[in-house]
Structure 1
Amino acid sequence: MAVKGRNSLISQTWEEELYKYITGIISSKNQKLIAINGVADHIHILIGMKPSCCLSDLIREVKKSSNAFVKEKRFTKFKFDWQDGYGAFSYSQSALDNVIAYIQNQKEHHKKKTFKQEYMGFLKKFQIQYDEKYLFEWIDDL
């Protein structure tokens, strides 16, 4: 999930509280949060989902509720919203350790690669066809 406008609003001083809140939302929907981590402008969430779960409904609830939580707690003086859309990828059981390690290493990873580079790399790696108009709002890399 990305912060609207790619603004770097998620502070390390309150990100853990946000992650715990999101974990609670996912658990309340009877799904299993396996890993969560991110950087100031986006987060990654690995969820063990039951087949009966509708991913778009779950993400909509996570965004809506966590957005309200951030505003209620006044974590930032700036306007906070999640960007429209999300990216979702499925992984086999055998790949989980690598995915968990990748998520846990986000801060170090993003010292070397921008979110756009990362996301476009996923699309290429998984050979996903896409239309530019449906991708995230990118801020040109500096």
Structure 2
Amino acid sequence: MSWTSLWVHMVFCTKYRKPYLNSQIRQRVFLHIKENAAKKNIWLDVVNGYSDHAHCLFVLGRDQTLADVARLIKGESSFWINQNKLTSEKFVWQDDYWAVSVSERHIARVRQYILNQEAHHTKKTFKEEIDRFTKKYGWQPNS
């Protein structure tokens, strides 16, 4: 029997980083993402975010690809948001996402970071956060 333990921290943004995810709908959307992930056999440990982005911590299954998980989470959630008319205009996630592997010893710290997004963004903007990730991981973001 094959076994894997590949933890991934993935971040994705709303199209043009529009702040669609206000406090009234944010928790509904993230709860839906978690429930839908379970139905799709994606072991999503935690999902949270702020007005223009979402963070997910999940375990990549042995027969899953990162691209497939991102597509299933983002595609279905944007469809659900639009179907339930949670935003006044059409909701779309950006095509891009950022993802890094997480070592077993850092899971609790990453989980806490994701759960504290609202408090975190009272001190640091998303742009500052992206700039930090860009520097730390050597990424070249498109926008």
TM-score by length of 2: 0.85
Structure 2: distance between partners of 1:8 and 1:59: 20
CA distance in 2, matches of 1:101, 1:4: 26
- The offset of 1:119, in angstroms, is 1.9
- What displacement does 1:123 show? 2.9
In the alignment, which of 108, 132, 135 is matched to residue 121 of structure 1? 132
Cross-structure match for 1:55:
66
Question: What code does the residue aligned with 2:132 have?
Answer: G
CA distance in 2 between counterparts of 1:104 and 1:69 reads 23
What stretches of structure 1 of length at least 5 have no aligned partner? Answer: 138-142
Between the aligned partners of 1:73 and 1:67, the Cα distance in structure 2 is: 10
Moved over 4 A (4+): none
Structure 2: give runs of 5+ residues left out of the alignment: 1-11
Residue 26 (structure 1) shift: 1.7
Mapped contact 1:83–1:136 kept (Cα < 8 A): no
How many residue pairs get matched? 132
1:140 alignment partner in structure 2 = none
85-94 or 16-25, which deviates more: 16-25
Structure 1 CA distance for aligned equivalents of residues 122 and 142 of structure 2: 20
Pick from 109, 115, 122 the counterpart of residue 111 of structure 1.
Answer: 122
Deviation, 1:50, is 1.6
C-alpha RMSD over aligned residues? 1.4
Shift in Å, 1:12: 1.4
- Which 10-residue stretch deviates more, 9-18 or 67-76? 9-18
Per the alignment, residue 77 of structure 2 pairs with 66
Between structures 1 and 2, the one with greater strand share:
2
Query: Judging changes above 3 Å, is the alpha-carbon distance between structure 1 residues 136 and 9 closer, same or farther for their aligned structure 2 residues?
Result: farther
Asked if 1 retains the 8 angstrom alpha-carbon contact of 2:47 and 2:115, the reply is yes
Aligned residue for 1:47, secondary structure, equals: strand
The sequence identity of aligned pairs, in percent, is 33
For the residue of structure 2 that corresponds to 1:90, the secondary structure is strand
TM-score, normalising length: structure 1? 0.85
Query: Residues of 1 paired with 2:78 and 2:39: CA distance?
Result: 17
Match of 2:5 in 1: none
Deviation sequence 1:106-126 (CA, Å, 0-9, x none): 011111212122122123223
Match of 1:91 in 2: 102
Cα distance in 2 for partners of 1:18, 1:89 equals 23
